[in-house]
Amino acid sequence: MTNPRLDNEFFDMIHSLLQEEQQLGIPENRRVEVRRHYNRVTLLAPYDGENLPQAADFAPRLCHDLSSQGFSFVSTERPETSLVVVALGVAPFKFFAAEIRNVRQLIRDSQVYHYIGCQIRNRLRP
């Protein structure tokens, strides 16, 4: 699995793509709670809803925003599951199960990115 270089330039590019979407009149989100920008690399893994992922299942993803109810992240790969586990904070991480609620495809310089919105379901304790 290849990941884009997760640096400031990459984050700035994604931010500009999202601004372009707003200028094109793409509908606003339906969130009740305001999310805060959270431009950090987080660890995410697919989740089957029962078995906690192994350490090798986690991959770095650029988180875009975060609230107590959800978060969004950017990936070059479309999610294969409807649930993910996200590791937040610093070690020892806090793990949360989240449901993928929407996926938007963004294209920049012939590269496809997926902007993925998630709703946090519950905290997981390993």
- Per-residue pLDDT of 34-87, as tens digits, reads 778 888 999 999 999 999 999 999 999 999 999 989 999 999 999 999 999 999
Task: Please answer whether residues 67 and 33 qualify as being in contact, where contact means their C-beta atoms are separated by less than 8 angstroms.
Answer: yes
The mean per-residue pLDDT over the stretch 22-37 comes to: 60
| pTM exceeding 0.75 | no
Q: What angle do CA 71, 75, 76 make, to 5 degrees?
A: 165
Q: What residues are paired with 45 via a beta bridge?
A: 85
Higher pLDDT, 4 or 94: 94
Q: What is the CATH architecture assignment of 8-124? A: Beta Barrel (2.40)
Rounded CA Rg of the chain: 14
pLDDT score at 21: 54
pLDDT score at 38: 83
The H-or-E segment that residue 15 falls in is: helix 8-23
pLDDT score at 36: 83
Report the share of the chain in percent with pLDDT over 70. 74
pLDDT score at 6: 46
